[in-house]
Amino acid sequence: MQKFKTKLSALRPLRPFLLLWSTQALSALGSGMTSFALVIWAYGQSGSALSTALLSICSYAPYVLLSIFAGALSDRWNKKVTMLVCDLFAAGTTVAVFLLLHTGRLAVWHLYALNILNGLMNTVQQPASEVASTLLIPKRHFQRTSGLRSLSSALNSVLTPIAATAVLGLFGLGAVLVLDLLTFALAFCTLLFFIRIPKSGGDREKEPVLRAAGRGLRYLAENRGILLLILFLAAINLIASIYNAALPAMLLSRPNGGEGALGAVNTCAGLAMLAGSLLVSLLPAPKSRVRVICNALLFSMSTENFLLALGHSLPVWCVAAVLGWISIPLMNANMDVLLRTRIPVGMQGRVYAARNTLQFFTIPLGYLAGGFLVDSVFEPFMAAQPAGSLWTTLFGAGKGAGAALLFLVIGFLGMLTCLIFRRSRSIWDLEKNE
């Protein structure tokens, strides 16, 4: 009993973070359900991989273009107010989708425009949220809370396709949007009334935005190991976003695929992340965080893509998803701890924003490339192959075969990227004096 009380006492400093984390995670589930349902809706309207990929491109474009300035403003602005305003605006875009759907006027181009606005709000909110978490979490709990954040992300990955598919099938897209708004309301009220976020030194800085943004870039230029690690993840994000653009095109087009198969594969990916997140929360700090990051990404890239390329059944695709995602929480947690312990709190908003620009600018490029390659290169190539050829034997025939061939290509690209960056001495030097 005494040990139990001691554990509860040790967790008491985490109460504000746990309250914020749990309600924000629930809101993220609602948002994820909406995104999943809208991808299915948009693909049903157009039948084009590029058309659905543009949804993500529109979300990420403002995030990439404006993150560096948003981080400078985030270090200056009140974190709580920034998060509340951005959340409220994002909820307004969901309301707009609901009204357009209810009046029968919803079109794919509406989603592009609203995703741009939503991405703009996320651009401002994300660095504020990162700094808020740092201020709420005692340093000794960084790894544990990183595991918790991976855990909520994994749970959302598991629940999103299941819940979205069920609600979409039973009650329609409108019900998904209503659930999104209800979870937003809970998270918004919790942050507004029950969370107090301490101020950081950066809140008092009044230097010009361009100069402040430049400080974030200079910090990365002066810390080569962190910069190269971010560029490593930028290359991985390029490959991963090509994967994300190709996956719905392949699974929704296969004779043994469809919405159920897409949901099952995403659920298996979420379950794998859940297992990895639980592992992160239980394991002690590794001797080498850099080694964990590099090996986790190499394992992911060298398994999932090849199984998706050469597999022709749902069980194989599900195994691929498990192997591809189980190590990602290990990578995320160790990357998170490295950055939080290396970057001064007063600089984190600016540095995280500079990181967002450099690390995530490849995501819209990858979605664009993935959609284009599926629609205009790999699918036409596979359609021209005769029945019984080596190509059709390996990747199948009909729509979706081109996307399968693309997975083979990005599998080799992912392995090569991991092997190149893990040779960098500057990245390994990050472990000195940790």
pLDDT 10s digits, 179-222: 999 999 999 999 999 888 877 654 445 566 677 667 777 888 88
Residue with tokens 């509406």: 110
Higher pLDDT, 216 or 322: 322
pLDDT digits (tens, 9 = 90+) for 83-132: 899 899 989 999 999 999 999 899 989 999 988 888 888 877 877 787 78
388-402 confidence digits (pLDDT tens): 899 999 998 888 899
384 burial (CB, 10 Å; 0-12 / 13-18 / 19+) is: exposed
Measured CA to CA, the distance from residue 115 to residue 175 in angstroms comes to: 19
pLDDT value, residue 8: 46
Q: What is the pLDDT of residue 236?
A: 94
Q: Which residues of 22-45 are buried (b: 16+ CB within 10 A; e: fewer)?
A: ebbbbbbbbbbbbbbbbbbbbbee
**Confidence (pLDDT) at 376:** 92
Q: How far apart are CA 390 and CA 123, in angstroms?
A: 46
% of residues, the chain, pLDDT over 90: 31
**By C-alpha distance, which of 161, 195, 180 is closest to 114?**
180
State the virtual CA torsion across 125, 127, 129, 134 in degrees, nearest 10: -170
Provide the angle, in degrees to the nearest 10, between the axes of the packed helices 328-342 and 345-360.
140
**Which pLDDT belongs to residue 267?**
85
Average pLDDT over residues 308-312: 90
Residue 285 banded pLDDT, cuts 50, 70, 90: confident
Of all residues in the chain, what percent carry a pLDDT higher than 70? 90
Question: CA neighbours within 13 Å on the CB side: how many for 88?
Answer: 9
Q: List the helix and strand counts (H, then E) for the chain.
A: 20, 0
Q: Which of 197-206, 260-269, 366-375, 398-407 is predicted with the least confidence, judged by mean pLDDT?
A: 197-206
* pLDDT score at 207: 61
Question: In what helix (H) or strand (E) does residue 400 lie, and over which residues does it extend?
Answer: none
Tell me the pLDDT band of 305, cut-offs 50, 70 and 90: very high
Residue 304 and residue 306: Cα distance in Å, rounded? 6
**Mean per-residue pLDDT, 17-45:** 87
Taking alpha carbons only, the member of 305, 240, 298 closest to residue 415 is 298
Say how far apart CA 103 and CA 55 lie, in whole Å.
21
* Residue range 5-20: mean pLDDT, rounded: 68
State the CB neighbour count (10 A cutoff) for residue 310: 16
The distance of Cα 191 from the centroid of its chain, to the nearest Å, equals: 22
Q: Which DSSP string do the residues of 286-327 spell out, in sequence order?
A: PS-HHHHHHHHHHHHHTTHHHHHHH--SHHHHHHHHHHHHTT
Report the pLDDT averaged over residues 17-30.
87
Per-residue pLDDT band at 322 (split at 50, 70, 90)? very high
Predicted confidence at residue 203, as pLDDT, reads 46
Q: What is the mean pLDDT of the chain?
A: 84
Which of the four pLDDT bands, split at 50, 70 and 90, describes residue 7?
very low
Q: Which long-range contacts (CB under 8 A, 24 or more apart) does 201-205 make?
A: 201/345, 201/346, 202/75, 202/76, 202/131, 202/345, 202/346, 202/347, 202/348, 202/349, 202/350, 203/75, 203/76, 203/77, 203/78, 203/79, 205/75, 205/76, 205/346
Structure confidence at residue 77 (pLDDT): 79
Q: Dump pLDDT digits (tens) for 134-165.
A: 788 777 777 667 667 767 777 777 788 888 88
